[in-house]
Amino acid sequence: MGMNGIIVIDKPSGCTSHDVVAKVRRALGVKKAGHTGTLDPLATGVLPVCLNEATKLVQFLALDDKEYLATLRLGVRTDTLDSSGTVLSREEPRVSPRQVEEALLALVGRREQTPPRYSAVKFQGRPLYDWTRRGIEVEQTPREVEIRAVRIEAIRLPEATFTVSCSKGTYIRSLCAEVGETLGCGGCLSALRRTRSGCFSLETALAVESLPELREAERLSPYLASLADVLPGLAAIAVDEALAERLRNGYQPEGEMLARYHIPFLAVGDVVKFTLHDNRLVAVARMSCASEELLSAGKKQAVQILRVFND
């Protein structure tokens, strides 16, 4: 097999996530590569890139929580909600550090958030920024996001730097604009660095420029996370080679078959991973019946195989 796994790139500012993936593909000579969560051109930091078989995991990894280090610039409103856009208004922020801190900490919790007009969210197959640049207004449905935690790092007016932990799909520039409006002076995002995406962090991140010298699999290996290891939240069902081969060939296991294996306590709808003894990932599946129902299920399909892997 070729290079199968996930590497973490420390994305530089000024390029798109798609640009980074293209550079990774060329530098490592891999056929397939894909990232697990778009970072705006302005942003830097953790960008997990899936190689070859790992591209099948993108749909699962994109659901991971994220953590960012962000800088809010008060007193400036822009059309993109960040400092890369056209300035719509400027005013002196007449607020105290305490007021800024309170407004930022008040972000914690669940909230409705509408994707910015300049974003990669698709509408009828085109990203919103494409519609916006054409001068076409597109109605977007607000999405529920959750801000898990906010930590204030520094407040030096007119700027405030903070760390935010949040659910997938959260737009930090929208949060900055919201805080600006709460404080009555407007605001925009002036710097953003993603420090964590799921189980991936900056500690293992590579610069794109360092990839050519890691083109040999042996050199890249220390930086390559295995397919099974990047799904730490999924219960693992260890299977033998015979069942692994059947799964790869389209077999949907029945309760009677799975009852022979050690199945941890699982409920209907839980997503699980099938692995071999050497921790190679065989398949990701969704439980169709609970663990305690496997024996009684008999010939009934017990799980729905979502993806199979030739790792």
User: Rounded distance, CA 73 to CA 80, Å?
Assistant: 13
- Kindly report, residue by residue over 219-248, the tens digit of the pLDDT: 888 899 999 998 888 889 999 999 999 999
* Type of residue at 209: E
CA distances from 31 to 3, 8, 25, 101, 216 (A): 10, 18, 7, 47, 15
User: Rounded distance, CA 184 to CA 89, Å?
Assistant: 12
More confident residue, 266 or 99: 99
User: Rounded distance, CA 198 to CA 168, Å?
Assistant: 10
pLDDT of residue 188: 97
- Kindly report, residue by residue over 5-33, the tens digit of the pLDDT: 999 999 999 999 999 999 999 999 999 99
> Is the model's pLDDT at 215 over the cut of 90?
no
For residue 12, give the 3-state DSSP assignment. Answer: coil
User: Rounded distance, CA 22 to CA 11, Å?
Assistant: 12
For residues 45 and 22, the answer to whether their CB atoms sit within 8 Å is no
Which pLDDT band, with edges at 50, 70 and 90, does 131 fall under? low
Catalytic residue among 10, 19, 40, 240: 40
Which pLDDT band, with edges at 50, 70 and 90, does 128 fall under? low
For residue 131, give the 3-state DSSP assignment. Answer: helix
pLDDT of residue 193: 98
> Is the model's pLDDT at 1 over the cut of 60?
no
- Kindly report, residue by residue over 252-292, the tens digit of the pLDDT: 988 888 888 777 788 999 999 999 988 899 999 999 988 88
Q: Considering the chain, what percentage of its residues have pLDDT values greater than 90?
A: 60
Q: Considering the chain, what percentage of its residues have pLDDT values greater than 70?
A: 93
Determine if the pTM surpasses 0.95. no
Write down all domains in the chain, each with its CATH number in brackets.
5-64+199-223 (3.30.2350.10), 66-197 (3.30.2350.10), 235-308 (3.10.400.20)
Kindly give, in sequence order, each residue whose CB lies less than 8 Å from that of residue 12, ignoring residues fewer than 6 positions away.
44, 207, 208
pLDDT of residue 127: 66
The tokens describing 173, both together, are: 């520039």
Question: What average pLDDT does range 145-156 have in this prediction?
Answer: 97
Question: What average pLDDT does range 154-159 have in this prediction?
Answer: 97
Which pLDDT band, with edges at 50, 70 and 90, does 117 fall under? low
Question: What average pLDDT does range 72-94 have in this prediction?
Answer: 94
Q: Is 64 a catalytic residue?
A: no
